[in-house]
Structure 1
Amino acid sequence: MTTAETRRDRRPLAEPDLRDATARVLAEEARLREGGGPDAIARQHAKGRKTARERIAALIDPGTDFLELGLWAAYQMYEEWGGAPGAGVVAGIGTVASRRVMVVANDATVKAGAFFPMTIKKVLRAQTIAGQNHLPLVYLVDSSGVFLPMQDEVFPDEDDFGRIFRNNAVFSARGIPQFAAI
């Protein structure tokens, strides 16, 4: 019988330890789903705006699931700037009008929805999955643009900010529907 071993002394991880570890992971996932946190969510609501997750919930068909991708993206990165939970964007597959779609929603509770380098990687990953599976893309845009203190890291590699727009053109040529709501 195989046992999970995580300690240096190779003793099996005890069941209470697994429960504690699971509880910590679930608590951290709940925190990540809050994006910029309760105060940032309250500021969005005070402006009469919905959060990214609320916009997604309003978009997808009632009673259907949303398969989120990359919740842990940018985890513990950009701490010198206050962090970027979920890379500041919520992405995943949902059902709209009975059709599976890829949804990408900027999380304005995280630095006004600004793009960090990992935000771009996450959006590109969502686009790749959509392209491979011929899924329509729905962009729920609420972004201040590029996170300016890191703009020098957003454009210099082959999978940079401009690649997102290149992919938009490729998807258009392939007949993959794309929609943006601002």
Structure 2
Amino acid sequence: MADGTAAASELPGDACEVVRLWPPVDEIAFRDGLAKLASGVAVVACWTPDGPRGLLVSSVTGLSSDPPRILFCVRKAAAAHGALLAAEAVSLSILADGDGLEAERFSRSDLAPERFGPESWTLEPLSPPDYREALVSLSGPVCCRIDAATHTIFILDVSGARARQGDPLVYFERGFRNLA
């Protein structure tokens, strides 16, 4: 149709009566816009037969308080994506403003278990790895994995939680920042 809409008969499946066909977004403008969205950062970790695996995420959202659930997103191309996809349970460690080095360590693409230093992490194979200095530490079983194009959305049923006082480490304009 001339106005950018399509009749239902022109679309596959159970499409709505009329669907607006939007032009594609400029990818650079979109990414620059997302860079303006300040977010907390967290390390998501799990156990594999080869040891602990984890990565840094900045897309974390509280989903529900009853039942307690949180969601996070992981890029499918990330080295630890497969391990997280297979994991029954994971931990999510929200980093504090003094955890810049930990964030840098987990933002790299390698899978080296050495980044889980026993001086900073509780490593008990029956529980997901736990970052001792986390501002907030959440853990539990993954109840849902949703395919979302380039990413997977994970929904975590929180069965363990602890928090301490402090300010979060924030990711803004492609860098780690403190609130102050």
Please indicate the TM-score interval, normalised by the length of the shorter structure: under 0.3
* Larger strand fraction of residues: 2
Q: TM-score, normalised by structure 1?
A: 0.23
Q: TM-score, normalised by structure 2?
A: 0.23
* Larger helix fraction of residues: 1
